[in-house]
Every structure is written in structure tokens, then in C-alpha cells.
Structure 1
Amino acid sequence: MGIHLMTEANRCLQCKKPMCMEGCPIHTNIPVAINLIKNGKRDEAEEMLFENNPLSAVCAIICNHEEQCAGHCVMARKGSPIRFYEIEKYVSDAYLDKIEVDPIEKRDEKIAVIGSGPAGLTVAIILAKKGYRVTIFEEKDKIGGMLRYGIPDFRLSNDLVDKYADILKKLDIKVRPNTVLGGALKIEDLFRDSYKAIFIGTGVWRPKTLGIVGESLDNVHFGIAYLANPDAFHLGKRVAIIGMGNVAMDVARTAIRHGAKEVTLYARSKRIAASNDELEYARFDGADFKFGYAIKEITEAGPVFNIAKFDEDDKVVGYEDEPVQVEADSTIIAVSQVAKNKIILTTKDLKPSERGLLLIDDNCMTSVPGVFAAGDVVHGSNTVVHAVDESKRAAKAIMDYLNAV
């Protein structure tokens, strides 16, 4: 470990009431992890972090630390907070390389996990470590879901995601790539083939549309589709991005890295949905930001906006009389995503919410007995660490369910 990381560990006050732990959505026991490391028990710290959060190596990189562990650290009140995420990133990444799996006594029950994003990986790893026979059904050719196809490689390396593919092999978790549930295979087919429980962690991959003229033009694209394979797109030099969430920031930074010279993000109000960190990274990379631009339509020349009027509280109170045409080679719509509905449409009694997300009870079970869900497919687009936290509950609920039937 680099000496600066040990210096950072030595700064920890070992608070009796660790606010950093309260600020962490998955309640990582940061003081205990730091204390183990300081006392030469790094192996124990690594294992503890992984057991609490199988995606600790990922969360250490992409979590919004300013609002979570670091933001709640008491040291931040008068100075610099403990950057535990730097310590976690180092030890958790190393642990993925050396993790060994002791022989596990196999149980009879087979469990299907649909989707290999944060939710699916978490559930699969937890259940496999308990001896269940787990098969992951993945729509794409490689595992990772949003980690691989929704987060740019410069933020989260695919090499790190590949390490989880190796862990799946060590745990004897089977993967069926290029397999869509709700197509050739349906939920009922899984039950027919003796899967005793099914977990749905398919995330939200359908772009949310604006319902305006111009969305089908050849120079208009959706943000989540662009991030999945930016090399397939030719955006030109001037790019307009509709939206200011984290996906929009990733789109902007990716477009700049792929040759765009003028990248501008537009928001209808003065509210920014993205985290401060992601906003500042996008600004540092060269993106520009325009507020009070309400999208009206998109033409081949670029987007057309109604320009907002604000009151003293920065609330929109009206719009200018004449819309404004913005010149852009490409326009990218990045205003959130919704869940695909193939599984819902092909599964009897599987009930969605008004937003098309899966409804679950307190035990993460859907309206179909034996079918569970967690993560973005339940709540809509959210952070990785929130998906992992809920998926831990889902894994326990699946085990309780199987033990009761």
C-alpha cells in the first residue's frame, strides 16, 4: 500500500459514532476496516469489505463520496475528510485478483438471475457462496450491465469488470450470454426447468423520450445508447445534449474524448441532477452548460428551445416570445431511462407500477411467487451502491423463501 494511504488511515479518529458509516448507503464499517489495516490485518479488511459489499472495488471508484462517506466524516467540518474510498479502492481491487473460493457444498436448488449488472452480480455472488446453483441470463455478450455498457471506461475500467467474470467462474456461477428473457425464453420456462427462484435485476435500459418533433432524425441519438458503444457513432464537432444528470455528464465527457469540439448541455431550469463531482469533471473536460433552455423540437440543424424567464428565486415564470434555434451536428437526449417491458408483457400476473417498474413487497418479492427483484428495475435509475444494498436484502429473502417452501 502506498504510504499516503497509510497516512490517510492514521488520520481516522475512530469515532464512537462513525458518521461516515451512517453516510454510506450500504453502511460499510469504515472505522473497523481502517483499524484492521493499521494493525497489519489487511486480508481481514479486504474480506470484510467484500462480504459487506461484493462491489466494493466498484463503489470505491464511482460512488458520490462527497455526499456519502467523505461528506459525513467529522473531519470535513474543519478541514479535509478521510478519503477512505482511496484506501478501499486499493485494497478491494487487489482482493479481486487474489480471492480464493473454498470448496462449497452444493445445494439442490437452482436459481436464475436475470441481468448481470450491479443487482444481478450481487445476488448471484451471495447465493453462490451459500451453495445455490446459480445461472445468470445476460442480454449482452459480456457481463456487467450498466457497469460495462453505461459507465465510460475512463471512469470505470472494463478490466475491473472483467475481474468479476473471473469471480463468477470461481464460484461456479453459470452465464448464458446473448439471452433475452421475455423473448424466446420466458419466466414460466425457467420454472418449468426446475429453477426454484428467479431474481430480476435488468435495470433501466429504455431511453426516456421527449415526445417532440425530430426525435427520429438521423443526427439525434439517446444517451444510454451512445454510452453502450460510442465508437459506432459519428457525432461531428458540435454536440448538443438535452439533460444534466450523471448520464448526460458521461455523454459529454465521452463525446469530447471522441473528437467533439463544442459540447453543450441544456437544462430547462437551473436545477442540476448530476452530482457536483460529475459536473465539475465535465466542466474541466471542456463541456459548456446552458440553463433555462426548454426543448421545443429538433431539426436537422439542431435543437430548438424556448428560453425561460426566472424570478428572484430562480423559478421559471414564463418563456421568451421567440424560440431559439441552436446549431449542432448531433443532438443527444439524456433525460433518464425507463425499464424495458418484455418480461412484464410475457409473465402472467407480474405487476408493474405506473412507471413500468416492478412492484415488490418488503421481502423484494414481485407479485409472482418465487420471483424477486431489486435495483433500478424497481426504483428507476439510481446509484450502484443503492442497487447493491437492496440486492443484499433480496438475496436473503430468496434464501428465506427457499428454506420455507
Structure 2
Amino acid sequence: MKNLLNEANNCLLCKNARCQKNCPINTPIPDIIKLFKENKIEEAGKILFENNPLSAICAIVCPHENQCSGNCIKGIKGEPVHFYEIEEEISKNYLKNMKVTKPKSNNLKVAVVGSGPAGITVALDLAKKGYDVTIFEKNEKIGGVLTYGIPSFRLPESIINLIGQRLKEYGVKIKINSLVGPVVTLDKLFEDGYKAIFIGTGVWNPKKLNIKGETFGHCHYAINYLKSPHLYDLGQKVVVIGAGNVAMDAARSAKYYGAKKVYITYRRDFEDMTATKHEINETKNEGVLFNTFKSPVEIVDEGIILADTKKVTNEDGSTSLITIENSEKLFECDSVLIAVSQEPKNNIVINNKGLDVKRGGLLYTNEFGQTTREGVFACGDVAHGASTVIEAVVAAKRISKSIDEYIQNSLMEEIEFTS
């Protein structure tokens, strides 16, 4: 706590704080730091939770270098204030000790499909308003990407369990191992009296490399591997294809669970990687090695064949990536993990009429989160593609308001029709 107080004392409490302006959910950072310095921890925790119910998680997994810390004025000439460390301490304590008063029920049912960041946020927001919310989660644990995509050594499962406990205290019902789509259809949910349905099922279908050998036994998709990394026997030498945060998490997990040598292989350079600098540095610090300017050609029994690539400058000043002819070489390894993005599963779309999709299988929604089917809403990765946890929370808070307005307007129309 003393070190965190020193961190708080370094804050200038700017009136027009750049850190707050660059926080996607507009966390009142100077106010929180002021309360922390005054030892008003519970008050600060309540503000954080009301503003962002996943504050304890975002403090750990947000790309702070692009948001609060990366825009701290003290970071221009020195070390920025690491607000997220203070936020984590406050939010974890508040989540652990908060007292929940269950709101009076309005007897209106809402179904939330998926319990990732968006689903949790929508469920909490609507439960606070008195809605009878049921979460349908296809896995045995809630959390979505928080549980099955981010390694537990990065994001402790205890935090997600606490959130699950708070959901239940607010009256939210959680149905685990409940897949919505083929058997439990949207029609069935509406028939059972749900006034609205929210879809927040994330993006869980891995994208293929479309190279020969992808089905071999020593080749796995990183998003599948991260669901239960302790069950995989990857051997001693592992190659991860890709350079996003999923690739970094997969590489770190492989190292954590016993692989001696783990390589991130990417066809471009560090500056082009989509993973945050913090994630890349953490991955390096844990002993993962990087092969840049290498492109996968074929997966073989002995490992993977890679070709050299290089950047070239075009006449108009732009750059292109080309593969160097006859540069293919075998890179021996025991396992290959493919981490080149994900797309939504289509079990809901295939089995339920009226849901239109965009390119890549993403659900089509308008600015209010409404899909092309009446009463069905969506946001987060399933509608906008893979994004950060905080972006999912921001979208979910907006869409929960849309759902509330939709239901209330529907009730008014029913009254007018019957009167």
C-alpha cells in the first residue's frame, strides 16, 4: 500500500486530465487518486464499479500504454503515473467486500447469451434495474475470453469467481453448459416470456493459415489451446504463428506449462505487431524468442517450413511485404500453435432465422445494438470483431440502455393497443 501511495503522490491531479480523456470508459482518474490519498478506499471502489463493473479486470488486462499511463503528462519527460496499479488494488478490495442489495423485481425477463465481458456488463446493468436476467453460458464456467482466453497466471480466476458471486447476489441466474442455437432457439426463449435477448458470444472460431499440414497432430489453434493449456503436451520446442495478444498469451502459456523453447514467428517486424508493447515485453521477459520476417509455408512432421520475407518501398512511398524466392527452410519443432485471429461461431445464426451477418460472420447491428431480428441485441466481439475488454464494456453499457428503452417502449405500446 505504501508504494501505491507514493505512486498516487506522483499524480499532479490535472484538471483536464489526459489520462481520463484517453480512457475508453472515462474513468475519473484524478478523483479516484484523490480519494485514495484520503484513504476513502470504499468510496473510490464504488465509483469505479459503478462506472465499470469490470474495473478489477481492466486494471490488469487493459492496454494502459495506449490509454491512461500512455497519456500521463508526467510520462513526457519521465515515468508516468501507473494508475492501473492503484485501480487494481481499490477494485479488487471493493469487489471482495461490497454489500449488494438485490433490487425489487419488475418481473420482466431478459436472456443474455454468453458470459464474456459484454454479457456480464449487460446482465449487471439490467439486474440493477430490476430485470429478471438469465445468462446462458455454453461452458462450465462464466467469463468467456476472461476465463478461456486469458491465462490464469495473468488474470486470477478468483476475480472472475467474485464477479459471478456478485451477479447471483443481484439476482442474475446463470445456466452453465447451455448452448443457445440448435436446441434452445431464440424462438423458444421468446415463447418462454423473455422480452429481449442479448447476444455476446465472442469470437471463438480460429482462422486458418490455409497451408498444407494444418490438420497434423502436433498443430493446434491457439484460441483452442488457451481454453485448457494444462491438458496439452506440446513438447520442448514450440512455434507460435502470429503476433497479437492471443499469440503472446499462447506463447507465455506454453512456456509456463513446461516448454523449454518457445518462438513467436511473424512475417513482419516488431513495429507491425498488433499485441501491445507491454504484452510483447512481458513475453520477452519470460524467455520467449522471436522470429521476425518469417512466413509459414507448410507444416510437416518434423516442424514447420518457413520462408524469409522483407519490406520493400514502392514508388509512391508505401511499403509492401514480399516473400524472398527459394528461402524456404525447415524449422524443427515439436508443436505449432496458430494464432492469426478469430471469427464468430455460427450456431446461433444457422439455427435461427432473421439474423443477418456482415463480412467475417459478424452479426449486423445498428447504433443501438439491435440486430435484424426484433428484440435481439448484440455487441462486443460477435458484432464488431475482436477488441479489448474495456471496449466490450463500453459498448455493453450503451446497449443495456437500448434494451431497457426497447422493453419499456414495447410495454407502452401494448398498453396503448389494449386500451
TM-score category of the 2 structures, normalised to the smaller one:
over 0.9
CA distance in 2, matches of 1:309, 1:272: 15
Runs of 4 or more, structure 1, over 6 Å off, are none
Q: What's the Cα RMSD here?
A: 1.3
Q: Which residue number in structure 2 is paired with residue 146 of structure 1?
A: 145
Q: Which residue of the partner structure matches residue 179 of structure 2?
A: 180
Which residue number corresponds to residue 299 of structure 2? 298
2-side partners of 1:179 and 1:300: how far apart?
Answer: 38
Q: Secondary structure at the match of 2:226?
A: helix
For 1:115-126, list aligned pairs within 5 A.
115-126=114-125
AA partner of residue 129 (structure 2): K
1:202 and 1:377 in contact (8 A); partners too: yes
Secondary structure, aligned partner of 2:179? coil
Structure 2 residue aligned with 1:83? 82
**Does structure 2 conserve the Cα–Cα contact (< 8 Å) formed by 1:351 and 1:367?**
yes
Question: Is 1:380 aligned to residue 380 of structure 2?
Answer: no
Mapped to 1, the partners of 2:243 and 2:102 lie a distance apart of 48
Letter in 2 for 1:182: G
Q: Equivalents in 1 of 2:102, 2:310: separation in Å?
A: 66
How far apart, in 2, do the equivalents of 1:124 and 1:172 lie?
Answer: 10
Q: Distance in 2 between matches of 1:360 and 1:93?
A: 34
Distance in 1, Cα, partners of 2:41 & 2:288: 41
Q: 1:395 — aligned with what?
A: 400
SS in 2 for 1:355: helix
1:34 Cα deviation from its structure 2 partner: 1.5
1:40-79 matches, within 5 Å, as: 40-79=39-78
Preserved contact between residue 201 and residue 375 of structure 1 (Cα < 8 Å): yes
CA offsets 1:124-160 (integer angstroms, 9 cap, x no match): 0111111100000000011111111100011001111
| Cα distance in 2 for residues equivalent to 1:403 and 1:351 | 25
Could you say which residue in structure 2 is the equivalent of 1:283? 284
1-structure distance, mates of 2:6, 2:308:
51
Aligned-partner Cα distance in 2 for 1:217–1:332: 11
Contact 2:268–2:310 (8 Å) recurs in 1: no
Deviation at 1:315, TM superposition (A): 4.1
Counterpart CA distance in 2 for 1:231 and 1:172 is 34
Q: For 1:350-389, list aligned pairs within 5 A.
A: 350-389=355-394
Q: What is the Cα deviation at residue 14 of structure 1?
A: 1.8
- Is the Cα contact below 8 Å between 1:269 and 1:315 reproduced in 2? no
Q: Offset of 1:309 from its aligned partner?
A: 3.2
SS of the counterpart of 1:311? strand
Letter in 2 for 1:192: E
Of the structure 1 ranges 140-149 and 30-39, higher mean CA displacement relative to structure 2 is found in: 30-39
Distance 1:384 1:230 in 2: 21
Cα deviation for residue 305 of structure 1 reads 1.8
Q: 1:300 to 1:318 in 2, by over 3 A?
A: closer
Distance, in Å, in 1 between the alignment partners of 2:213 and 2:181 is 30
Instruction: Map 1:195-206; keep pairs closer than 5 Å.
Output: 195-206=194-205
Q: Distance in 2 between matches of 1:317 and 1:263?
A: 26
Contact 1:308 1:320 in 2 (8 A): no
Deviation of the 1:280 alpha carbon: 0.8
C-alpha distance in 2, partners of 1:211/1:23? 38
The residue aligned with 1:214 is 213
Query: What's 1:310 paired with?
Result: 311
Q: Which moved more, 1:7-16 or 1:256-265?
A: 7-16
Cα deviations by residue, 1:140-181 (Å, 9 ceiling, x for unpaired): 011111111100011001111111111112111101100111
Deviation at 1:307, TM superposition (A): 1.4
Distance 1:226 1:261 in 2: 18
Provide the rounded CA distance (Å) in 1 between the counterparts of 2:88 and 2:169: 22
Partner AA of 2:170 in structure 1? L
How many pairs does the alignment contain? 404
| Contact 2:102–2:169 (Cα < 8 Å) also in 1 | no
Give the alignment of 1:266-277 within 5 angstroms.
266-270=265-269, 271-277=272-278
Give the Cα–Cα distance (whole angstroms) in 2 for the partners of residues 279 and 11 of structure 1.
27
Q: TM-score, normalised by structure 2?
A: 0.94
Cα distance in 2 for residues equivalent to 1:318 and 1:79 = 41
Partner of 1:325: 330
Displacement of 1:380 = 1.1
Residues 114 and 136 of structure 1 are in contact (CA less than 8 Å); yes or no, is this contact kept in structure 2? yes
- Cα distance in 2 for partners of 1:20, 1:9 equals 14
In structure 2, distance between residues paired with 1:149 and 1:384: 13
Instruction: Select 2:342's aligned residue among 334, 337, 342.
Output: 337
Q: How far is the alpha carbon of 1:293 from its aligned partner?
A: 1.2
Question: 1:199-256 CA deviation, whole Å, 9 max, x = no partner?
Answer: 1110001111111111111110000111100121111111111111111111111101
Deviation at 1:110, TM superposition (A): 0.2
| C-alpha displacement of 1:314 | 7.0
User: Which stretch of structure 1 is more off in the superposition, 385-394 or 263-272?
Assistant: 263-272
Gaps of 5+ in 1: none
Which whole-Å CA distance do the structure 2 matches of 1:317 and 1:150 have between them? 32
Q: Give 1:349's aligned residue.
A: 354
Aligned residue type for 1:295: P
SS at match of 2:246: helix
CA distance in structure 2 between the aligned counterparts of 1:103 and 1:62, rounded to whole angstroms: 29
User: Normalising to structure 1: TM-score of the pair?
Assistant: 0.97
Q: Distance in 1 between matches of 2:259 and 2:310?
A: 30
Give 1:370 deviation, angstroms.
Answer: 1.0
